[in-house]
Amino acid sequence: MHMRHGECKTPGGKLVAVNVAVDEDGTIKSCHISGDFFIEPDVTTPTRFAGAPASGGEASEALIHDLEQALVRGGSLQSVLDTHSDCRLIGTDASAIETAFLRAISSELTPPPAGAPAKRVGVAGADTTGTSVSVDTQYGQTDKTAEYQSRWNELKRNLTVIRDHPCTPAEQMTIDETWAREVAAGTRPPTIRFWEWAGAAVVIGKFQSAPDEVHLAVAEQLGFSVVRRCTGGGAMFIEPGNTITYSLYAPLDFVHGISIEESYRLCDWWLVEAL
């Protein structure tokens, strides 16, 4: 059995990678999708939390599984996405996943050694090097300030701000998911939590491949924990006393009527304003 690896960086978005297992006669036996993209639930999901945005739980796992099966069978990825209407890919799409898969099966190379920097390949001609985006344009401050301020004023009526005590990386991952579920269930008020860390760690995203992101043996030797959060995004290095981490846990009403992408701008608006 041979392993082949392909990647695609979505222009303006996230990286998706596909590892493909191929037997001696070239038959594709299985594949695994990873990357720093997000999978978001649809608007009927009763919570949203920023800093570590919600990812959809079991529904996202089912979506990834069906996408992998479609790649192996040669099926339509868009049909899979249409079937899983309870989830939405953020930062990547069917085209990028297919490109990463095709790069994998056309490659004679095995994936890089564990922890080795992966070669990041984008879509030809789609680079935005040399361009810049103003803060006003990027965060929509020019025409959204009044609306965002109104939403935050409403949220602040019951908002709790907590500076947490130091916890281990594994404990922090558990707390983050638990508090999000409690806000969703109405048993905890809207909360901003500033995290404190009791140990050094590398935190990887829900859909990332740990061996592709971290020198696992070296991390173990140096006493670093490697933990996986329940949401998408990239790998982060954490040191006690040298990292500021926060989560915003808010009910769905806070982002009612706006798109998933815009909800990130709304949830981060207080921080942009403060800076």
Domain residue limits, the chain: 135-274
Spatial distance between the Cα atoms of 255 and 43, rounded to a whole number of angstroms: 9
pLDDT at 157: 94
Provide the CB-side half-sphere exposure for 35 (13 A, CA): 31
Spatial distance between the Cα atoms of 147 and 205, rounded to a whole number of angstroms: 31
pLDDT at 13: 87
Mean pLDDT of 216-236: 91
List Cβ neighbours of 210 (8 Å cut-off, separation of 6 or more). Answer: 204, 216, 226, 228
Q: 16 near 71, Cβ under 8 Å? A: no
Q: Which CATH architecture has domain 135-274?
A: 2-Layer Sandwich (3.30)
Most confident of 113-127, 147-161, 256-270: 147-161
Strand, helix or coil for residue 150:
helix
Spatial distance between the Cα atoms of 43 and 57, rounded to a whole number of angstroms: 14
Spatial distance between the Cα atoms of 66 and 25, rounded to a whole number of angstroms: 25
**Per-residue pLDDT for 45 more than 50?**
no
Q: 37 near 89, Cβ under 8 Å? A: yes
Please, which pLDDT band fits residue 108 given cuts at 50, 70 and 90?
Answer: low
pTM over 0.75: no
Counting DSSP H helices and E strands in the chain, the numbers are 9, 12
Q: 205 near 235, Cβ under 8 Å? A: yes
Q: In what order do the strands lie in the sheet with 2-9?
A: 2-9, 15-22, 28-35
Please, which pLDDT band fits residue 121 given cuts at 50, 70 and 90?
Answer: very low
Report strand pairing: 87-90 vs 38-41: antiparallel
List Cβ neighbours of 256 (8 Å cut-off, separation of 6 or more). Answer: none
Please, which pLDDT band fits residue 42 given cuts at 50, 70 and 90?
Answer: low
pLDDT at 87: 87
Q: Which two tokens stand for residue 251?
A: 């009910």
Please classify residue 252 by burial: count the beta carbons closer than 10 Å to its beta carbon, then call 0-12 exposed, 13-18 middle and 19+ buried. middle
* Each residue's pLDDT tens digit, 161-179: 999 999 999 999 999 999 9
Q: Which residue has the higher pLDDT, 106 or 49?
A: 106
